Amino acid sequence: MPPTAKASILHRVTGVALFFALTFVIWAWSESLSSPEGFNFVKELMTGFVAKFIAWGTFAVLSYHIIGGIRHMIQDMGHWEELESGNASAKIAIALWVIVAILGGVWIWS
């Protein structure tokens, strides 16, 4: 499968994943703003491995969706439409995402 197809499919998949991940984010915001006890509950919950993994996953899909979206907007302006430059931009977007996701994991778990 060409890199452009992988990048496009990944952009769509991360969009769907964001829809589901944001249910956790919205619930956590709502609960944390409901009362001091709710805030402390969410704060304690976010120290666990599962919650950090969900937070990292949410960050990872959001970061790729933003990177892929910027790539698509640049293509909409008429750039990177040729096969060679399109493949190169897809590879760069995926590589940049991997770096950002790793740095996000370091930030969340440190």
| Domains in the chain, CATH or no CATH each | 3-109 (1.20.1300.10)
Which residues are annotated binding-site positions for heme? 65
Instruction: Cite the annotated binding site by residue number.
Output: 65
Rounded to a whole number of angstroms, the CA Rg of the chain reads 17
The three-class DSSP label of residue 56 is helix
pLDDT digits (tens, 9 = 90+) for 32-41: 999 999 999 9
Q: pLDDT tens digits, residue range 54-73?
A: 999 999 999 999 999 999 99
Contact 68, 7 (CB under 8 A): yes
What is the token pair recorded at 79?
Answer: 């750039």
User: What distance in Å separates the CA atoms of residue 60 and residue 93, rounded to the nearest whole number?
Assistant: 13
- pLDDT averaged over every residue in the chain: 96
Contact status, residue 14 vs residue 7, Cβ threshold 8 Å: no
Residue pair 46/52 in contact by the 8 Å Cβ criterion? yes
